[in-house]
């Protein structure tokens, strides 16, 4: 039996991501193999995955992944959903026996659409806004219930355990997706629990993170001004909500949003030409509360693709590679070569400079797949 290490290694997280920019779906076996190579960076206290393109038969429905650790919680959540949402389909999340996975919570998923009366009651809100309110309400106010995935045609699978065991537990080899993220989590300043493992998700955003967001308190207070409430007691939650706020709600271009989160230093801004200097100064001043401090490397998934971002001084490792239509990003080169032995290009991420793997427009619904 594997033994958990007693010491705390603040750098001990593993992240990996694979995206087909052509939108070609492939088995979860590849991401499971990639993250397993970095077993020693994890601790057995958390592991998880996100996949995009998982549910083409329910692609227009919000796919809620729910976990419950209180007997009364499922009934309360069902009653809350029934008031506001049409439940199109509901079922247990399929699982299998896996080594070192014990006492999991009750796991269910349901596919939903907003009821017309909820849209009529809140005419200024989009369907995405209504889902955000729903997910945050359940996580804040219904004890023993947790929404850990709430996007369309995607899903998050996570829990307490090594990621390779979590993958077996959730039977990820039976799923296909055009984008996969994975994480082996060493809890930073938080205990290990099923909801606290990575990825963290909201709508179709999913975030995995290596490092520590030391600006968590400031970021959390900033987000509350816009109706986002952090109830999961971990720093990565703020990254997820910031991407939703900056890109979906405030319509910032991706590059500008990344400059908000990991902006140039003031000394660098001073050397820019006048136009670039004005833009960089404006972003830093207007979005000061959204700046992320601390050592981090993050991978962010969405329906449109995958984004990788290091902190400005690159205090956490991140390697990228390309082969054919796929972009691979991981904490270690070995995790990439395990599933892509001969990449066409391979490079190390630069501090504060995003790497983007963009899925071609219209490719999200592709039903093509590879072995």
108-120 mean pLDDT:
94
63-76 mean pLDDT:
96
Domain coordinates in residue numbering, the chain:
14-248+294-358
Tokens of 222: 């900033």
Backbone angles phi, psi at 245, to 5 degrees: -65, -50
What region does 203 belong to: left with phi over 0, alpha with psi -120 to 50, or beta? left
Of the candidate ranges 6-10, 81-85, 311-315, the one whose mean pLDDT is the lowest: 6-10
pLDDT in tens, 226-241: 999 988 778 889 999 9
Which listed residue (13, 110, 230, 340) is catalytic? 13
Tokens of 2: 């594997």
CATH class, domain 14-248+294-358, is: alpha beta
Question: Angle 216-224/236-243 helices, nearest 10 degrees?
Answer: 40
The string of DSSP letters for 211-266 reads E--TTHHHHHHHHHTTT----S-STHHHHHHHHIIIIIIS---HHHHHHHHSPPPH
Do you know the residue count of the chain? 371
- Do 171 and 95 contact (CB within 8 A), yes or no? yes
pLDDT in tens, 131-189: 999 999 999 999 999 999 999 999 999 999 999 999 999 999 999 999 999 999 866 66
Position 57 confidence tier, pLDDT thresholds 50, 70, 90: very high
pLDDT in tens, 286-335: 999 999 999 999 999 999 999 999 999 999 999 999 999 999 999 999 99
Active site residue 13: yes
Nearest-5° Cα angle at 32, 28 to 38: 155
Report the run of H or E that residue 360 belongs to, with start and end.
none
| Strand pairing class (106-114; 85-92) | antiparallel
Mapping DSSP to helix (H, G, I), strand (E, B) and coil, where does residue 196 land?
A: helix
Task: Burial-class residue 318 by CB neighbours within 10 Å (0-12, 13-18, 19+).
Answer: buried
Of 347, 349, 351, 348, nearest in space to 314 by CA: 351
- Do 90 and 109 contact (CB within 8 A), yes or no? yes
Q: Please give the pLDDT value at position 361.
A: 74
Mapping DSSP to helix (H, G, I), strand (E, B) and coil, where does residue 127 land?
A: helix
What is the rounded CA–CA span in Å between residue 131 and residue 135?
6
Q: Please give the pLDDT value at position 264.
A: 93
DSSP 173: G
The string of DSSP letters for 7-23 reads S--TT--EEEEEEETT-
């Amino acid at each position: 039996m594997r033994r958990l290490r007693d010491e705390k290694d603040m750098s001990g997280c593993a992240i990996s991501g694979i995206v087909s920019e052509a939108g070609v779906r492939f088995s979860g076996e590849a991401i499971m193999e990639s993250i397993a190579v970095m077993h020693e960076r994890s601790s057995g206290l958390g592991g998880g995955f996100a996949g995009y393109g998982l549910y083409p038969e329910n692609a227009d429905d919000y796919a809620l992944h729910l976990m419950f650790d209180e007997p009364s919680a499922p009934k309360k959540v069902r009653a809350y959903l029934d008031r506001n949402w049409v439940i199109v389909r509901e079922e247990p999340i399929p699982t299998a026996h896996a080594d070192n996975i014990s006492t999991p919570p009750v796991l269910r998923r349901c596919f939903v659409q907003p009821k017309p009366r909820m849209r009529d009651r809140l005419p200024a809100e989009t369907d995405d806004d209504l889902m955000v309110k729903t997910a945050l309400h359940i996580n804040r106010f219904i004890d023993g219930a947790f929404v850990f995935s709430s996007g369309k045609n995607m899903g998050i699978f996570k829990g307490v355990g090594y990621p390779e065991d979590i993958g077996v537990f959730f039977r990820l080899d039976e799923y296909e997706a055009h984008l996969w993220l994975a994480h082996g989590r060493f809890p930073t300043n938080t205990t290990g629990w099923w909801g606290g493992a990575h990825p963290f998700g909201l709508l179709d955003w999913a975030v995995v993170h290596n490092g520590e967001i030391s600006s968590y308190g400031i970021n959390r207070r900033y987000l509350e001004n816009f109706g986002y409430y952090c109830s999961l007691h971990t720093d990565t939650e703020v990254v997820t909500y910031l991407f939703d706020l900056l890109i979906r709600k405030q319509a910032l271009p991706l590059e500008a949003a990344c400059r908000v989160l990991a902006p140039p230093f003031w000394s660098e801004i001073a050397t820019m030409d006048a136009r670039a200097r004005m833009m960089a100064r404006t972003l830093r001043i207007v979005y000061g509360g959204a700046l992320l401090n601390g050592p981090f490397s993050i991978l962010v998934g969405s329906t449109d693709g995958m984004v990788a971002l290091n902190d400005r001084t690159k205090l956490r490792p991140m390697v990228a590679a390309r082969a054919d239509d796929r972009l691979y990003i991981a904490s270690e080169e070995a995790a990439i070569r395990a599933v892509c032995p001969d990449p066409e290009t391979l490079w190390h991420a630069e501090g504060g400079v995003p790497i983007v793997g963009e899925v071609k427009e219209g490719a999200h619904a592709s039903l093509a797949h590879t072995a």
